[in-house]
Amino acid sequence: MQSKENILEVNHLKINFKTYAGTVKAIRDVSFNLKKGETLAIVGESGSGKTVTTRSIMGLLANNAVVAGGNVLFHGQDVLKMSQRELENLRGAKIAQIFQDPMTSLDPTMRIGRQIAEPLMVHKGVKKAKAMAQALEMMKLVGITDAENRINDYPHQFSGGMRQRIVIAIALINYPEILIADEPTTALDVTIQAQILDLMRELQDKIETSIIFITHDLGVVAGMADRVAVMYAGKIVEFGTVDEIFYNPKHPYTWGLLSSMPTLDTNGDELPSIPGTPPDLLDPPKGDAFAARNSYALKIDTEKEPPFFKVSDTHYAATWLLHPDAPKVTPPEQIIERQKKFAKMQQQLEDKKLHHKVEETEEQP
């Protein structure tokens, strides 16, 4: 199902916010692409610019935001240069979004059927009765029980998990090409989280949409995403496939994130955390923004920003540690474990391939 075609390309995006205190450089040169049918996870801590990036894709930046450079190409068309009208036609039709908190993202005074049907009526000019019928279908699809009787209920009559299903129904009613899920499970409790994630995976297959999944929860990423981009202080610091990021991370920030996530293998009584706080983007530090919190920082990290170093065709990381002249460092123990697993996986993959080849050759008479 996944193809090589890029439906979205973000190139060298730079976004500033004008505030009373000065200009906040929220997005500092971010580039990534999204392929048809894939799920891209953008991971990073609060304030790293994940949400701002996706806002710019929807054309929903705050009034004080200034695009300082770069472009966001949706099917080759720059979203940042679109008129208000063109953006309205895009939103909710081609690109839809699921918000973080289902308790506040539904209009408390509108019946949910109407809320789900609204994008249909706005974009396709579907008549109300027909739109409501489609809304009912969508309610069933997202697993709202007793949908026929509940279509005229109000949001306050639903639980958090059900409300997030409604939000998903609203987002998917026009079968969008891109679904932006901005921490869709953060406000839900863990069992409901799993249900919502399952639902999203299931619907992605049915609706054939690409998903940009924003989260700070790496645990969620593993089961959801095809590729992962790790953001820090308004930049992407490492990106690669899920396996590459989880089992062969190269950036010390990714190491920190992974180490601070408990796994089944976690033993010892204290979960490591990344010391310090993210830099002030009013005045971003020279060099690598993570250097101040990075115990592996080199001298050059405080002087010059690291470029992306290629790890594999799909895996890049912006850290001087990958420079050929850099001293060899030993990553945290947990990361070494992960890398060992990765090597084993690669080995098994190779073995399988070899095995297949052998079989193939054997089959040939």
Interface with other proteins (CB under 8 A): 58, 60, 84, 88-93, 96-97, 99, 101, 104-110, 118-119, 122-123, 154, 156, 167, 170
Q: How far is the CB of 131 from other proteins (least distance, A)?
A: 13
Q: How far is the CB of 60 from other proteins (least distance, A)?
A: 6
Q: How far is the CB of 284 from other proteins (least distance, A)?
A: 27
CB closer to other proteins out of 122 and 222: 122
CB closer to other proteins out of 90 and 257: 90
CB closer to other proteins out of 168 and 321: 168
Rounded CA-CA distance 250/316 in Å is 8
Q: How far is the CB of 93 from other proteins (least distance, A)?
A: 6
CB closer to other proteins out of 93 and 136: 93
CB closer to other proteins out of 40 and 179: 179
Q: How far is the CB of 307 from other proteins (least distance, A)?
A: 35
Long-range contacts of 242-245 (CB under 8 A, 24+ apart): 242/41, 243/342, 243/345, 244/311, 244/312, 244/314, 244/315, 244/342, 245/315
Q: How far is the CB of 298 from other proteins (least distance, A)?
A: 42
Do 7 and 75 meet the contact criterion of CB atoms below 8 Å apart?
A: yes
Dihedral (CA of 10, 75, 311, 40) sign: positive
CB closer to other proteins out of 109 and 361: 109
Overall size of the chain counted in residues? 365
CB closer to other proteins out of 61 and 322: 61
Q: How far is the CB of 178 from other proteins (least distance, A)?
A: 12
Do 256 and 45 meet the contact criterion of CB atoms below 8 Å apart?
A: no
Give me the residue label for tokens 């450079």. Answer: 69
Beta bridge partners of 16: 25, 66
Rounded CA-CA distance 121/127 in Å is 6
CB closer to other proteins out of 106 and 317: 106
Q: How far is the CB of 320 from other proteins (least distance, A)?
A: 39
Rounded CA-CA distance 261/288 in Å is 23
